[in-house]
Amino acid sequence: MSWKEKLTSRKLWLTVANLVAMIILNRTGNEDVAVQVSTIIMGAGGVIAYVFAQAWCDSKEVENDDGWS
């Protein structure tokens, strides 16, 4: 599995968000903060997935471009 596939994996981002939320909950006992941080992590994961997907689409477009616009 390539880094691109790993960084765009929803499973990875859910796992990271869960880990961070559990650490925050364990350290502070504040569930609201844990939920807020998890939401931010999942949002960042979505942005990263979009960026990689768009870059992949753009690279395919360049590969298919024959130079005649």
Where do the domains of the chain lie? 3-63
The mean of the pLDDT values for the chain is 81
pTM of the predicted structure, to 2 decimals: 0.58
Whether residue 67 has pLDDT greater than 70: no
Length of the chain: 69
| 7 vs 17 pLDDT, higher one | 17
Nearest to 34 by CA among 42, 46, 16, 22: 22
**Residue 68's pLDDT band (boundaries 50, 70, 90)?**
low
**C-alpha to C-alpha distance for 51 and 32, rounded to whole angstroms:** 29
Q: pLDDT tens, 24-49?
A: 888 888 888 888 888 888 888 888 88
**C-alpha to C-alpha distance for 69 and 59, rounded to whole angstroms:** 16
Residue with tokens 């844990």: 34
What the block records as the tokens of 40 is: 């931010």
Whether residue 4 has pLDDT greater than 80: no
Is the CB of residue 3 less than 8 Å from the CB of residue 51?
no
